[in-house]
Amino acid sequence: MTERIGVYPGTFDPVTLGHIDIIARAQQVVDKVIIAVAGNEAKDPLFSVEERVNMVENDIEHLRGNGWAEIQVVVFDKLLVYFVQDMQASIIIRGLRAVSDFEYEFQMAAMNARMQPDIETVFLMASDRYQFISSRFVKEIARHDGDVTHFVTTHVSDLLIKRFSRP
Catalytic-labelled residue, pool 4, 97, 155, 163: 97
163 lines the binding site for ligand ADP (CB under 6 A): no
- Our CB check for ligand ADP shows the closer of 5 and 7 to be 7
Radius of gyration of the chain (CA): 16
Catalytic residue status for 97:
yes
Stretch that binds ligand ADP, among 27-35, 64-72, 95-103, 109-117 (CB under 6 A): 95-103
SS3 readout for the chain:
CCCCEEEEEECCCCCCHHHHHHHHHHHHHCCEEEEEEECCHHHCCCCCHHHHHHHHHHHCHHHCCCCCCEEEEEEECCCHHHHHHHCCCCEEEEEECCHHHHHHHHHHHHHHHHHCCCCEEEEEECCCCCCCCCHHHHHHHHHCCCCCCCCCCHHHHHHHHHHHCCC
Known catalytic residue: 19?
yes
**Contact set for ligand ADP, span 22-61 (CB under 6 A):** 22
- Does residue 97 interact with ligand ADP by CB under 6 A? yes
Largest Cα span, the chain? 57
Q: Confirm or reject binding of residue 116 to ligand ADP (CB under 6 A).
A: no
Which of 32, 90, 135, 139 is flagged as catalytic?
A: 135
Check if 43 is active-site.
yes
Taking the least distance from each CB to ligand ADP, the nearer of 9 and 32 is 9
**According to CB under 6 A, which one of 29, 122, 134, 137 is a site residue for ligand ADP?**
134
Q: Which is closer to ligand ADP, CB of 5 or CB of 12?
A: 12
d(CA 22, CA 4): 17
* Catalytic status, residue 139: no
Residues that bind ligand ADP (CB under 6 A): 9-12, 16, 18-19, 22, 94-95, 97, 101, 126, 130-131, 133-135
Known catalytic residues are: 19, 43, 97, 135
